[in-house]
Amino acid sequence: MVTPIYHERQRGGYCRLHALNNLIGEQVCDSAQFDKYCDEYDSINKFSKGTSKQQFFYNNGDNNNIFGYVLEKMGYSYTMHHYDFYRNKTINVCENTIGYILYSKGHAFCIRKHDDKFYLIDSMKPKPVIVNPAEFCNKKILGVIHLS
C-alpha cells in the first residue's frame, strides 16, 4: 500500500516555505511563522528585512541557512550538506538521505524520499513525480541542500 505524499501547493511568494514543508512531509510552519523566522534570520545576518523569504539565499555551509534556521526553531534536527553547481558536480545519495531542497534565483522545491522512492515535489506543479535524485540534482541550478 502506497501512502499519500504531502504536497503543499504554491500560495503567494512562499516557495521556500512550501519546499521545506514538502520535504518534511507536513506543515513545519505557516507563512506568518516563516515570515517571523526570516526576519529574525535577516536581523542576525544583518540583511534587509524580507531578504531570506524570497530574494537572496545565504548559505554558510551545513545548517546555516534559512531552511536550517526554521527547522531548528521548530524543533527538528537534521544534518544538511550544501552543494552548488560550480563547486560540486556529484550529489550524494545515501541510505539515510531524507531528501533535497533545490533552489535557483527564482524558485525553491524539493526531492523527498517516500516509500523507498524519490519524488520531485514542486509547489508550482500539479503533483509529485518520481525522479532519480543523482541525475536530477546534477542539472545546472544554483544549489542543493541534502538532508539526512
Nearest 5°: CA angle at 97, between 33 and 110?
45
- Phi and psi for 61 in degrees, rounded to 5? 95, 155
- CA separation for the pair 77, 140 (Å, rounded): 29
Query: pLDDT (tens digit, 9 = 90+) per residue, 55-112?
Result: 566 666 667 788 888 999 999 888 877 776 666 556 777 778 888 888 777 788 999 9
- CA separation for the pair 109, 118 (Å, rounded): 13
CATH classification at residue 25: 3.90.70
Residue 9 lies in a domain: no
Supply 74's cell numbers. Answer: 521548530
- Mean predicted lDDT score pLDDT of the chain: 82
Nearest 5°: CA angle at 12, between 67 and 21?
35
The answer to whether the beta carbons of residues 145 and 109 sit under 8 Å apart is no
Residue 89 lies in a domain: yes
> Which residues are CB-neighbours of 78 under 8 A, at least 6 positions away?
63, 68, 71, 98, 147, 148
- CA separation for the pair 25, 38 (Å, rounded): 21
Q: How many domains does the chain have?
A: 1
Residue 6 lies in a domain: no
Confidence (pLDDT) at 54: 66
Residue 4 lies in a domain: no
- Three-state DSSP class for residue 20: helix
| pTM above threshold 0.75 | yes
The answer to whether the beta carbons of residues 91 and 83 sit under 8 Å apart is yes
Tell me which residue range forms the domain holding 27: 15-147
- pLDDT of 139 over the 80 cut: no
